[in-house]
Structure 1
Amino acid sequence: MSGTSKTEIGATLTAAPLHEQVTNRISSRIADGRWPEGFVLPSEGDLAKQLGVSEGTIRRAMQALTQEGLVMRRRRTGTVVTGRAPRHSLDKWYSYYRLHARDGRLVNTETRNIEVLRGKASEVEAARLKLTPGEPVGHITRLRLFEGRPVMIDRIVLPLARLGHFPDRVEDLPQLLFKWLLEEHGLRLGALREQVTARIATEADRSLLGIEDSAPVALLDIDETAYDALNEPLMMMRHAALTDQHCYVNEVR
């Protein structure tokens, strides 16, 4: 496949920093398979015209994509998609999640918020979040859908004492929690600890995931605690993912 194919990649960009927007726009196209392995990107000049930015902005984006391993420069050919998975540095947690199709492709999921509640920290929640049992916490339940099908349940607990405000309505919940914590509360992700296990879906899981078959269904549990830059817990999360068509990839470089 060559860069002569239709490559329109969206509306003109207007907000700063432009090179990050360009990087995200191109990496999203690579991640969802629209620009597959071996695809030759348009020239920097063509991309600049499509997006209404300078060639210098495109050049900075290409440098970032090359460092991530998503593209490579080939003499006489141009900039080519490598087919490698993106590096999962912490900044990617603001906009990406590591759910992959069976063939290794990183898939973009749609987030659907289901429930938001205020409550009191249980003993387990208090221990994980360094709270006293009974301190106020916020609970969020949401689904991740791929091509309209629920594939993962997110159950999230946040310590309300660390937040300036917490939504009471589902429609006011943020789509990107780490970005919301940073921009609204000044809390930056510094580390993430995961524990991965497998189990059989409960009735509550089956209801959320729309599983009607009575046969046992395996779920992958990804139990996480997120920490800030000072190693203080920000939130605890449990992701319960179906495994029939997707897998969870943890890549270290």
Structure 2
Amino acid sequence: MVDGHEPPITAETDEDEAFDTGLMRKPLHEQVKERILRRIILGTWGEGFVLPPETELARQFGVSYGTIRRAMTDLTASGVIMRRRKTGTVVTGRTPHHSMSQFYQYYRLHTIEGRLVSSNTVLVDACHRGATLDEAERLELPVNAPVAYMLRLRIYEGRPVMFDRVTVPLSLAPDFPVTIEEMPTLVYKWLLERHGLRLAAVREKLVARLATEEDLRYLDLPLDVPRALLDIDEVSYDSMNRPLVAMRHAALTEDHCYITEIR
């Protein structure tokens, strides 16, 4: 997990980070790099933010200066941060939005200006049932095969801006929770932690359409005003190329957009 000379990172106690660090067994500088990158992606350190000096970062993360230096060099080479002579090390805003290592906890909804939106999740519905024809085709299952289903809203600044329909085959995760109270917010993390099912690939299809009355009700909008929605139809696959999760996100487009960045 580490280079043999330094202890594991213990300066931060965030559950998701502790989980990723313990499970992935990556070199220490990679763990530090991912933690810094996660802060940038989630907007804690936004575009233009001046990072603390490397000696201070080493103290915060509980690692050596050499480890921090190596992590910062990698982030600089990838364009995530840049060094300015008088200012210091600055976040560029060019974050790798489609990094698989970040997919476990991160939705790529942005403001029109390009700023990543950090939303809150509210579960609306959850159950175990038979797969619909559409779900069966997407997940390569027989019709009516048992699946776990959830519907959740994404709340930003006090109002819903996006909702997700999530379907998981119970053949891969028979103990997937059935109630709203037990449903995991981080589906991929739950599957990895409980069943060792690791996300390996994602296929997405984007379609623009008008919101239906049902959509408008979920988004708490007037039923007599047409609204455009962006549908993001997503199927993820595990390391054996089996369909792992089917998701269908529907997002409002007046104030938000979906950004794809490939490096």
TM tier relative to shorter chain: 0.7 to 0.9
* Further displaced range: 76-85 or 98-107: 76-85
**Equivalent position to 1:47, from 57, 68, 93:** 57
SS of 1:170's partner is coil
In structure 2, do the counterparts of structure 1 residues 214 and 61 end up closer, same or farther at CA, with 3 Å as the change threshold? Answer: farther
- Matched to 1:98, the amino acid is R
> Following superposition of structure 1 onto structure 2, how do residues 105-184 of structure 1 map, counting pairs within 5 Å?
105-184=115-194
- Matched to 2:230, the amino acid is L
| CA distance, structure 2, for counterparts of residue 31 and residue 190 of structure 1 | 20
* Further displaced range: 25-34 or 187-196: 25-34
In the alignment, is the contact (CA less than 8 A) between 1:70 and 1:85 conserved in 2? yes
| CA distance, structure 1, for counterparts of residue 110 and residue 147 of structure 2 | 31
| CA distance, structure 2, for counterparts of residue 31 and residue 106 of structure 1 | 7
| CA distance, structure 2, for counterparts of residue 57 and residue 67 of structure 1 | 16
In structure 2, do the counterparts of structure 1 residues 33 and 167 end up closer, same or farther at CA, with 3 Å as the change threshold? Answer: closer
Q: How many angstroms does 1:26 deviate by?
A: 3.7
* Further displaced range: 44-53 or 219-228: 44-53
**Equivalent position to 1:97, from 101, 107, 130:** 107
In the alignment, is the contact (CA less than 8 A) between 2:236 and 2:245 conserved in 1? yes
In the alignment, is the contact (CA less than 8 A) between 2:38 and 2:102 conserved in 1? no
RMSD, aligned α-carbons = 2.5
In structure 2, do the counterparts of structure 1 residues 87 and 209 end up closer, same or farther at CA, with 3 Å as the change threshold? Answer: closer
**Equivalent position to 1:199, from 202, 209, 212:** 209
| CA distance, structure 2, for counterparts of residue 215 and residue 184 of structure 1 | 44
Q: Please name the residue that 1:216 is paired with.
A: 226
SS of 1:111's partner is strand
Q: Please name the residue that 1:86 is paired with.
A: 96
Q: Deviations over 1:33-61 (max 9, x none)?
A: 56444433211112233454443443344
Q: Deviations over 1:57-116 (max 9, x none)?
A: 433442443344220234564322212233412222112221111111122122222211
Q: How many angstroms does 1:122 deviate by?
A: 1.8
- Matched to 1:169, the amino acid is T
> Percentage identity across aligned positions?
55
Q: Deviations over 1:222-246 (max 9, x none)?
A: 0111111121101111000000110
Which runs of 5 or more residues in structure 1 are unaligned? 1-10
Question: Is 2:200 the partner of 1:190?
Answer: yes
In the alignment, is the contact (CA less than 8 A) between 2:97 and 2:108 conserved in 1? no
In structure 2, do the counterparts of structure 1 residues 194 and 63 end up closer, same or farther at CA, with 3 Å as the change threshold? Answer: same
In the alignment, is the contact (CA less than 8 A) between 2:47 and 2:93 conserved in 1? yes
Q: Please name the residue that 1:5 is paired with.
A: none
Q: Please name the residue that 2:250 is paired with.
A: 240
Number of equivalenced pairs: 243
In the alignment, is the contact (CA less than 8 A) between 2:97 and 2:260 conserved in 1? no
In structure 2, do the counterparts of structure 1 residues 137 and 41 end up closer, same or farther at CA, with 3 Å as the change threshold? Answer: same
Q: Deviations over 1:202-241 (max 9, x none)?
A: 2221122111362111110001111111211011110000
Which runs of 5 or more residues in structure 2 are unaligned? 1-9, 23-27
Q: How many angstroms does 1:248 deviate by?
A: 0.5
| CA distance, structure 2, for counterparts of residue 181 and residue 64 of structure 1 | 30
| CA distance, structure 2, for counterparts of residue 31 and residue 89 of structure 1 | 10
Q: How many angstroms does 1:32 deviate by?
A: 5.6
| CA distance, structure 1, for counterparts of residue 56 and residue 160 of structure 2 | 38
TM-score by length of 1: 0.85
* Further displaced range: 122-131 or 59-68: 59-68
- Structure 1 runs of 4+ aligned residues shifted over 6 Å read none
In structure 2, do the counterparts of structure 1 residues 24 and 152 end up closer, same or farther at CA, with 3 Å as the change threshold? Answer: farther
In structure 2, do the counterparts of structure 1 residues 105 and 68 end up closer, same or farther at CA, with 3 Å as the change threshold? Answer: farther
**Equivalent position to 2:259, from 218, 226, 249:** 249
| CA distance, structure 2, for counterparts of residue 228 and residue 168 of structure 1 | 22
